[in-house]
Structure 1
Amino acid sequence: MSLLFAITRRDLLLARRRRVEALLPLGFFIVAAGLFPIGVGPEPQTLRQIAPGVVWVCALLAAMLSVTQMFASDHQDGSLEQMLLAPQPLLTVVLGKVLAHWLSSGVPLVLATPVIGVQFGMGAQAIAILALTLLLGTPVLSLLGAVGAALTLGLRSGAALVFLLVLPLTIPALIFGTGAVVAVEGGQSAQAHLSLLGALLIATALAAPWATAAALRISLD
């Protein structure tokens, strides 16, 4: 646990020093989602219908902007190789870096969700469910993004490959997240969608760190 917190704290400090890069996903999320009401028009019913999908797609793309840098800087300065040679398990290092990425990129997206929801004219209950789905879904994006970042580590076109590898895997989270909000707006219960999203988070948390650790070893061999 001490190693986990040390890796997380280290990456958060590095993100704080690179504030422009750290705030880029949040800025993209707010600007991209905020442009849709302008482009689609001021019709409230139309905005409420497209809001869940728009917010989730923008959050997904925003998370992918920073996920390629999860291991890149450590790989460039050689510290990632030292982590692999350390006696501590690599799985703990991976979990620490994923946690730091989620805290610096995913949590700000969740906190900005109410502002975006107000722009789309969503009700308070729908905004709350949307924020809850992103709270459950953004860790999935970070975990899956870590796998893609590890597989493409050191490649010239790694960022493009991460998008191609990770985006298809995030479709279930997108479906369950938007489905929960649509169900609430239709007067139905969102429990089923939230349960499926939580199950997806548990399954990803159990499998993705092992796959990321194996991909890192392969990339550095």
Structure 2
Amino acid sequence: MRALLLRDLSLSVRAGGGFGLALAFFLIVVALVPFAVGPATSTLSLIAPGILWLGALLACLLSLDRILALDWEDGSLDLLATAPIPMEGVAAVKALAHWVTTGLPLTLAAPALGVLLNLAPEGFLWLTLSLAVGTPALSAIGTFGAALTVGVRRGGLLLSLIVLPLYVPVLILGSEVARRGAAGMETGTALALLGALTLGSLAAMPFAAAAAIRINLR
């Protein structure tokens, strides 16, 4: 499992679609928002939590099709299916590697980009916390979507159509935690629901992804 994780981390960095592309996209989205809505600091401060969460979500979406595509292309996925490692464990490792190379860098970069949108000082901690709790769910759900579309020609668009509806609850709860934190309101309920959603995704999605991989390998 450790060797598979290190291999996936190396492939994510070398093969493109890793943290560099995700961070660049995140920066572009945040930088373009003031041009679209105007330079009014009050408006930017109001929409900052939602924009930052939406940017992080879309940045995660960019690299989802690379989670299993490289293994499919070089035949490694067939070898993993016959390895002593359970396919559920393989799917979990794939999700972890995606989060380490995409979700974690986005979480760490979000506070710095929040300055561009005049995010309230009280909101920086809650923004980081909400992303740290919510982005693992994005990676787990994305791994399931990647498993459904692995081997499909031009499956990137189909993958987006599959996972985006599943991402909506995470987006709502994550941005709500950041918004409430920035406004000095109570965040416990929204954060607990976000954590429960993430734990549920981490528990269920590896099994769903493993089943989808087995079907595609038949």
TM bin (shorter chain): over 0.9
Which runs of structure 1 show a deviation greater than 2 angstroms over 4 or more consecutive aligned residues? 15-18, 184-187
The CA distance in 2 between the partners of 1:25 and 1:14, in whole Å, is 15
* 2:210 aligned with 1:213: yes
Q: Deviations over 1:30-54 (max 9, x none)?
A: 1111110232221111001111111
> Tell me, which stretches of 5 or more residues in structure 2 are unaligned?
none
Q: What residue is the counterpart of 1:60 in the other structure?
A: 57
Give RMSD over aligned pairs: 1.1
User: What is the letter of the counterpart of residue 28 of structure 2?
Assistant: V
Partners of 1:30 and 1:112 within 8 A in 2? no
CA distance in 2, matches of 1:147, 1:28: 23
Distance in 2 (CA, whole Å) between partners of 1:52 and 1:187 is 13
8 Å CA contact retained: 1:152, 1:162: yes
1:122 aligns with 2:119: yes
Measured in 1, the distance between the counterparts of 2:132 and 2:189 equals 16
Of 3, 27, 30 in structure 2, the residue corresponding to residue 6 of structure 1 is: 3
Task: Determine the C-alpha separation between the residues in 1 that align with 2:138 and 2:204.
Answer: 13
159, 180, 187: which one pairs with 1:190?
187
CA deviation after TM superposition for structure 1 residue 188, in Å = 1.3
Residue 90, structure 1, aligned to residue 87, structure 2: yes
Q: Is the counterpart of residue 45 in structure 1 residue 37 in structure 2?
A: no
Within 5 Å, which residues of 2 pair with 1:108-187?
108-187=105-184
Residues 174 and 191 in structure 2, CA contact (< 8 A), matched pair in contact too: yes
Distance 1:185 1:15, change over 3 A: closer
TM-score, length-scaled by structure 2: 0.96
Q: Structure 1 regions of 5+ residues with no counterpart?
A: none
Quick check: 2:30–2:116 contact (8 Å CA) kept in 1?
A: no
Q: Describe the superposition over 1:104-142 as per-residue Cα deviations: whole angstroms up to 9, x where unpaired.
A: 011110111011111111122201111111111111110
Identity in percent: 43
| 1:70 alignment partner, SS class | helix
SS of equivalent residue, structure 2 residue 67: coil
Q: Deviations over 1:7-60 (max 9, x none)?
A: 111111122323x43211111011111110232221111001111111111111
Which piece of structure 1 moves more, 201-210 or 153-162?
153-162
What is the total number of aligned residue pairs between the two structures?
217
Instruction: Provide the rounded CA distance (Å) in 1 between the counterparts of 2:54 and 2:120.
Output: 20
